[in-house]
């Protein structure tokens, strides 16, 4: 029997994890799965962590636990720095690693489109830590509003601007509107919450613009009914931590801008420029192999693969990432029997988003139908529970949802701050100790 080939997978998200699990205990491969975090994160429910509905641990899963019994998968917690294709080596924060095959599945990060002020002051939501930082900020702002010295300061802390009307922005705005309606009046009797404004600003003509007309019209109607102030065909041009400036010059005083307006692929250094698209994704052929390479493959949000159905690249969705990974695992199994890789085929099943309690929109691809409302909401919940990793997590999320549905409450409105006393290292270095946000940006 030949020596197993070393397959290095970078990224333990939907794609990388699915690939490693599908090749678990396969005798032809010795697998190293690398991630900067020691847990898998379930991004579709970040907004519920940010709005105090779910604990971060319910949507995270330790990578080492998944492969406890594996004979061929080893975990390495490290950051990929550079790829050196000529030497079949990657450089990571824990040193160089040689590979026979490399699979890049590092997903995407927030795209600020080069605006440094927005990057500095707005809150993104592309990781569990960022979702928790956002939750801290939401609750801190409410406390600041409750003790504000004047009306202008109070108003600034009550205004929230969500930028980007894709699923993330829509889901967040809806969850904030439900907090405002069902929870905050009980928690903050001293605040006039009719003055709390949730603005959703979207550059394209519609919210959920990639979905059907029926879906984006219904989503907008839901949001407006819930009290979200929706502006489409408009962009947030700047934010200095105090005022959000829109493209038409409108200024919204706000202590919280949430940036959900775009993503860019986590492309590592060292790849040939021909392989990197202007949107910062890595160009792959029909088999998922990076252009200009023999043994580097790319999966998930990071991969840019044009197909007849998707001439601008496949959608950046969890089910696409997992389907690609499953297909690639089958190809690696074929390869171990001396057979060639086959082209990737994908059957797109549709898309969905939830807006709030009993409110969701679903577009199915075949049969091509759209539906909204309570049934769509059940479909959305079932699909997300099914996708979530681990029985315990599913149970926790299910129980939390049930509790929230019955009581109209969520119980996680805690502010985790750093202790207001100096931390030793910082004291030694004479650094100032921020009292706001343990997981501050």
Ligand X SMILES: Cc1cc2nc3c(=O)[nH]c(=O)nc-3n(C[C@H](O)[C@H](O)[C@H](O)COP(=O)(O)OP(=O)(O)OC[C@H]3O[C@@H](n4cnc5c(N)ncnc54)[C@H](O)[C@@H]3O)c2cc1C
How many angstroms separate the CA atoms of 422 and 58, rounded?
31
The one among 307, 319, 336, 417 contacting ligand X by CB under 6 A = 319
3-state DSSP assignment of residue 362: strand
Q: Does 261 bind ligand X (CB under 6 A)?
A: no
DSSP 191: S
Residue 390: phi, psi to the nearest 5?
A: 95, 135
Q: Does 88 bind ligand X (CB under 6 A)?
A: no
Question: What character string, x for contact with ligand X (CB under 6 A) and - otherwise, covers 293-312?
Answer: -------xxx----------
Contacts of 82 (CB under 8 A, 6+ apart): 90, 91, 268, 269, 270
Question: Residues for the chain: how many in total?
Answer: 441
Answer yes or no: are the C-beta atoms of 226 and 239 closer than 8 Å: no
Question: Within 10 A of 374 (CB to CB), how many other CB atoms are there?
Answer: 12
Contacts of 345 (CB under 8 A, 6+ apart): 327
Question: Within 10 A of 35 (CB to CB), how many other CB atoms are there?
Answer: 24
Q: Which helix (H) or strand (E) holds 283?
A: strand 282-283
Residue 219: phi, psi to the nearest 5?
A: -60, -40
Choose one: 99-107, 191-199, 336-344, 359-367; the region binding ligand X (CB under 6 A).
Answer: 99-107
Q: Does 174 bind ligand X (CB under 6 A)?
A: no
The one among 85, 164, 165, 167 contacting ligand X by CB under 6 A = 167
Choose one: 33-41, 137-145, 227-235, 245-253; the region binding ligand X (CB under 6 A).
Answer: 33-41
Residue with tokens 């709390």: 196
The one among 8, 196, 230, 321 contacting ligand X by CB under 6 A = 321
Nearest-approach distance from CB 383 to ligand X, in angstroms: 8
Q: Does 207 bind ligand X (CB under 6 A)?
A: no
The one among 19, 20, 31, 34 contacting ligand X by CB under 6 A = 34
Question: What character string, x for contact with ligand X (CB under 6 A) and - otherwise, covers 111-150?
Answer: --------------xx------------------------
Choose one: 35-43, 191-199, 275-283, 356-364; the region binding ligand X (CB under 6 A).
Answer: 35-43
Q: Which is nearer to ligand X, 37 or 237 (CB)?
A: 37
Q: Are strands 5-10 and 29-35 parallel, antiparallel or unpaired?
A: parallel
The one among 46, 199, 222, 332 contacting ligand X by CB under 6 A = 46
Phi-psi region of 412 (alpha: psi -120 to 50; beta: other; left: phi over 0): alpha
Choose one: 11-19, 135-143, 280-288, 367-375; the region binding ligand X (CB under 6 A).
Answer: 11-19
Binding site for ligand X (CB under 6 A): 10-16, 34-37, 41, 43-44, 46, 79-80, 105-107, 125-126, 167-168, 266, 300-302, 316-319, 321
């Amino acid at each position: 029997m030949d020596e197993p080939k070393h397959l290095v997978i970078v990224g333990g998200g939907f794609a990388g994890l699915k690939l490693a699990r599908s090749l678990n205990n396969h005798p032809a491969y010795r697998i190293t799965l690398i991630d900067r975090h020691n847990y898998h994160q379930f991004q579709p429910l970040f907004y519920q962590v940010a709005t105090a509905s779910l604990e971060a641990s319910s949507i995270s899963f330790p990578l080492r636990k998944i492969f406890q019994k594996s004979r061929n998968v080893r975990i390495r917690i490290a950051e990929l720095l550079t790829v050196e294709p000529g030497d079949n080596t990657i450089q990571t924060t824990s040193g160089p690693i040689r590979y026979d095959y490399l699979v890049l599945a590092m997903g995407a990060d927030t795209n600020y489109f080069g605006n440094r002020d927005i990057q500095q002051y707005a809150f993104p939501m592309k990781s569990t830590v960022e979702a928790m930082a956002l939750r801290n900020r939401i609750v801190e702002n409410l406390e600041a509003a409750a003790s504000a010295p004047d009306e202008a300061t109070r108003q600034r802390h009550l205004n929230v601007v969500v930028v980007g009307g894709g699923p993330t922005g829509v889901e967040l705005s809806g969850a904030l509107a439900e907090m405002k309606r069902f929870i905050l009046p009980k928690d903050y009797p001293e605040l006039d919450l009719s003055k709390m404004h949730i603005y959703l600003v979207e550059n394209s003509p519609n919210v959920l613009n990639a979905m059907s007309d029926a879906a984006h019209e219904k989503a907008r109607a839901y949001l407006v009914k819930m009290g979200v102030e929706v502006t489409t065909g408009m962009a947030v041009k700047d934010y200095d931590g105090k005022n959000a400036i829109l493209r038409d010059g409108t200024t919204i005083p706000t202590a919280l801008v949430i940036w959900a307006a775009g993503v860019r692929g986590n492309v590592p250094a060292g790849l040939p420029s021909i392989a990197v698209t202007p949107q910062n994704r890595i160009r792959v052929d029909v088999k998922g192999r990076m252009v200009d390479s023999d043994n580097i493959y790319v999966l998930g949000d990071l991969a840019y693969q044009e197909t007849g159905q998707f001439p601008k690249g496949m959608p950046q969705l969890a089910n696409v990432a997992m389907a690609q990974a499953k297909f690639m695992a089958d190809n690696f199994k074929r390869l171990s029997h001396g057979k060639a890789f086959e082209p990737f085929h994908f059957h797109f099943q549709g898309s969905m988003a939830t807006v709030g309690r009993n409110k969701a929109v679903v577009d199915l691809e075949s049969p091509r139908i759209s539906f909204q409302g309570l049934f769509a909401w059940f479909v959305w919940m079932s699909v997300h529970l099914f996708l979530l990793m681990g029985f315990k997590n599913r149970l926790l999320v299910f129980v939390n949802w049930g509790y929230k549905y019955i009581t109209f409450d969520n119980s996680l409105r805690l502010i985790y701050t750093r202790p207001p006393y100096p931390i030793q290292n910082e004291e030694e270095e004479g650094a100032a100790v921020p009292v706001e946000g343990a997981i501050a940006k």
